[in-house]
Structure 1
Amino acid sequence: MEFSIQKAEAFLRLCAILLLVLTACLVGFDSQTKVIFYVEKKASFKDLRALIGLVYITSLAAAYNLVQLSCYSFSTRCKGSSLQSYKYLAWLRYVLDQAAVYVVFAGNFAAFEHSLLVVTGEENFQWMKWCNKYTRFCFQIGGSLLCGFVASLIMVFIASISAFNLFRLFSPKKFLLLKAT
């Protein structure tokens, strides 16, 4: 059973890496140029700060998952050596997986919120609607946000697997003894 959980976690990490890289590439390479009143204007991800942050966040999360995927053989060798050192490693993986999920989800949601302002515009701030003029740009950003949210969902499953791997190291008998005293 443990080997199948490891294979599932490795597969999920690989899927998350692919989706995070796809998100970063779709956002990072997205730009559209239009001629408006004889002036050439360009819409790019650099115009929206939340999208710049999303590129950095998804790139770092993909790198983190790649490092976790490559360190998998180290953690399985470490398990046989000392249970206490493996507990520390399991705690570290659990905390880092949780942090990665929260940061990726927050980055995606901030980019979604900023993109929603671009779609609807805001008359009070005199922000115009971009998606009337730059439709391909907006559709590509929308697709990248969808990929980012799917990657976030996959990372939630990865975090739950790391939580399972952590908390199965603790014996229920120890918890019963602590509860009785």
Structure 2
Amino acid sequence: MAASLGKVEALLRACAVLMLVLTACLVGMDTQTKAIVFTYKKKVTYKYLNALTAMVYIDVAAAAYSLLQLSRCTISVWSHKNLITYDQKNLAWGFFLLDQVVVYAVFAVNSAAAQAALLAVTGSKGLQWMKWCNRFTRFCIQIGGSLFCGYVTCFLLATVSFTSAFNLFRLYSPTQFMQLKRKT
């Protein structure tokens, strides 16, 4: 069972890395230039919204962390043994907590970017902000696609976090609260 769970975790982490890189690339490379007046051209990039800039940085950091964890999972699957044993419960706690931090950070930055994107779609008369998506439609469509990829990534990372929780709490006894199982 541990080998098949390790393979599933490795597959989920690989998919999460690919989706994180795809999301960061979609946002980071999104740019559109449009002529506003005859000679005045306006170029819009992700750097105009701070939430999109934060999204790129956090997605890249999460992808790097997930890639390191993927290498750990791959080594444990190839060697046919679990790298986290009863003696390394502190390491298991660290992996679990870091997985939780990554899931929450990616979800938070995607939610902030979705809020900023909604403001770009609707505009704000009170703040005198124009609707960007009336003029920069391709930019907005690509940002919408990257937000969708970001939320799919959140689902994948949450599933990875479930497997990390299982790997941690399988070390503890089911009958005695927070006591390690005996070594067999």
TM over 0.5: yes
CA deviation map 1:43-77 (0-9, x unaligned): 11011110000000100000000011112336956
CA deviation map 1:61-114 (0-9, x unaligned): 00000011112336956445xx22x21111001000000000000000000000
**How many residue pairs are counted as aligned between the two chains?**
174
SS of the residue 1:169 aligns to:
coil
Structure 1 partner of 2:28: 28
Structure 2 partner of 1:17: 17
Aligned equivalents of 2:150 and 2:59: distance in 1?
A: 8
Q: Which residue of 107, 110, 128 corresponds with 1:108?
A: 110
Deviating beyond 4 angstroms after TM superposition, the runs of 4 or more aligned structure 1 residues are 74-78
Structure 1 partner of 2:5: 5
Aligned equivalents of 2:116 and 2:20: distance in 1?
A: 19
CA deviation map 1:123-175 (0-9, x unaligned): 00000000000000000000000000000000000001100110110012322
How big is the alpha-carbon RMSD for the aligned residues of Structure 1 and Structure 2? 1.7
Higher helix share: 1
Aligned equivalents of 1:97 and 1:79: distance in 2?
A: 15
Question: Which residue identity lines up with residue 48 of structure 1 in the other structure?
Answer: L
Aligned equivalents of 1:87 and 1:136: distance in 2?
A: 49
Residue 79 to residue 94, structure 1, CA distance change in 2 (3 Å): closer
Structure 2 partner of 1:66: 67
Residue segments in structure 1 that go unaligned for 5+ positions in a row: none
Residue 43 to residue 174, structure 1, CA distance change in 2 (3 Å): same
Residue segments in structure 2 that go unaligned for 5+ positions in a row: 180-184
